[in-house]
């Protein structure tokens, strides 16, 4: 595996890759969820590139960029063992100039749900993903459904800007007890972790309701609220939308996402299920 820490050495290593190239962009602190994207890319492409870059522009003022975990040698080891071809770890100086041209997230879909909580966050995500796709020029790029809104906005950007990369949506990876994998799970105490199981339990309850013929989204949201409310400290949102993130009143099979964001203690957790 080549570890490229600057643009020039990345481009040199990239020029030696033949056939289809799969790309998994990350901010590091790699866990099973990332590994499943990497494995998928490796199984579907001739070569795989992973990037580790803690992108400053997707952090808002007051969010502590410096506290973001950076277990660099563990990330390198994980990629090496997974048989990644190139690990790209650029510096901030290489990725950004002063007074840059900006990419903006769409005014509605970029500012609801996660975007309501973190206005401007998706501008930064799209900006860096655009840069990375242009640098790596992958055939396929892999994103998790856990960050559903991010995935949907990236799909839109690729379409709107005619970027020649296929975006592959990957299923959420869960712990055996149902908790969605996240770098934030380590911040949960044993008791908080048990309470966090209410989130996946509530999503499953929602699916069961749909399976039993209940399509009224308000009824489903009320049930979900009843399951999680006693267990979490704050419910930020329970939303049922179509795959363009528009709120819907009635479930549309194969075109619905149930999304939840909560806080347990100071840890913010998101999860969703695609129906
Ligand atoms: O999902 C992430 O880890 C980040 O938002 C991404 C896509 C790597 C952009 O920095």
Q: What pLDDT is attached to residue 110?
A: 97
Check residue 117 and give its pLDDT: 87
d(CA 126, CA 28): 18
Give the HSE-up count for residue 141: Cα atoms under 13 Å, Cβ half-sphere.
22
Pairing relationship of beta strands 267-274 and 257-264 according to DSSP bridges:
antiparallel
The set of protein residues with a Cβ atom below 6 angstroms from ligand 1 is 25-27, 55, 58, 125, 128-129, 147, 150
Which letter does DSSP use for residue 261 in this model? E
Q: For residue 109, what is the DSSP state?
A: T
Angstrom distance (rounded) from CA 45 to CA 3: 19
What DSSP letter does each residue of 172-213 carry, written as one string?
Answer: PPB-TTSPBP-GGGGGS-HHHHHHHHHHHHHHHHHHHHHHTT
**Alpha carbons 240 and 257: distance in angstroms, whole number:** 6
- pTM for the model stands at 0.96
Pocket test for ligand 1, best of 147, 154, 183, 184 (most atoms within 8 A of CB): 147
- What's the pLDDT at 183? 84
Paired strand residues for 2: 86
Positions of the chain with pLDDT lower than 50, given as ranges:
none
Ordered domains of the chain (ranges, CATH)? 2-170 (3.40.50.620), 183-269 (3.30.1300.10)
- For ligand 1, pick from 52, 65, 124, 125 the residue to mutate: most ligand atoms within 8 Å of CB: 125
pLDDT at 73: 98
Question: Residue 69: what pLDDT?
Answer: 87
Closest CA relative to residue 204, chosen from 231, 236, 228: 228
Can you give the pLDDT at residue 67? 86
Tokens describing residue 34: 């990332």
Q: How far apart are the CA of 70 and the centre of ligand 1, in A?
A: 14
Task: Please list the residues that pair with 272 across neighbouring strands.
Answer: 259
Rounded to an integer, what distance in angstroms lies between the CA atom of residue 87 and that of residue 85?
A: 7
Query: CA–CA separation, 16 vs 11, rounded Å?
Result: 9
**CB under 8 Å to 97, separation ≥6 — which residues?**
none
Residue appearing with tokens 């479930």: 251
- Cα 135 → chain centroid: 20
Q: What is the CA radius of gyration of the chain?
A: 19
For the chain, how are helix, strand and coil distributed in percent, rounded to 5? Answer: 45, 20, 35
Residues 6+ apart with CB under 8 A from 39: 82
Spell 183-192 as b/e; 16+ CB within 10 A means b.
Answer: bebeebeeeb
Question: What's the token pair of residue 110?
Answer: 């970029």
Separation of CA 104 and ligand 1 centre (Å): 16
The CA distance from 237 to 253, in Å, is: 22
């Amino acid at each position: 595996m080549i570890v490229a820490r600057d643009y020039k050495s990345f481009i040199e290593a990239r020029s030696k890759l033949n056939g289809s190239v799969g790309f998994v962009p990350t901010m590091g602190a790699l866990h099973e969820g990332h590994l499943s994207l990497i494995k998928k890319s490796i199984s579907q492409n001739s070569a795989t590139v992973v990037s580790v870059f803690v992108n400053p522009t997707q952090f808002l003022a007051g969010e502590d960029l410096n506290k973001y975990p950076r277990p660099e040698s563990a990330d390198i080891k994980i990629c090496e063992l997974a048989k990644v071809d190139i690990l790209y770890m650029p510096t901030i100086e290489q990725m950004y100039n002063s007074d840059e041209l900006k990419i903006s997230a769409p005014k509605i879909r970029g500012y609801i749900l996660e975007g309501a909580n973190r206005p401007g966050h998706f501008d930064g995500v799209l900006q860096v993903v655009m840069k990375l796709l242009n640098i790596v020029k992958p055939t396929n790029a892999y994103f998790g459904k856990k960050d559903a809104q991010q995935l949907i906005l990236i799909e839109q950007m690729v379409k709107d800007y005619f970027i020649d990369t296929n975006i592959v949506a990957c299923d959420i990876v869960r712990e055996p007890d149902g908790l969605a994998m996240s770098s934030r799970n380590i911040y949960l105490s044993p008791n908080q972790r048990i309470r966090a199981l209410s989130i996946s339990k509530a999503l499953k309850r929602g699916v069961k309701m749909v399976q039993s013929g209940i399509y009224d989204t308000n009824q489903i949201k009320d049930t979900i609220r009843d399951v999680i409310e006693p267990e979490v400290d704050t419910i930020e949102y329970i939303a049922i939308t179509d795959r363009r993130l528009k709120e819907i009143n009635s479930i549309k099979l194969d075109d619905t996402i149930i999304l939840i964001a909560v806080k347990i203690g100071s840890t913010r957790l998101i999860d969703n299920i695609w129906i």
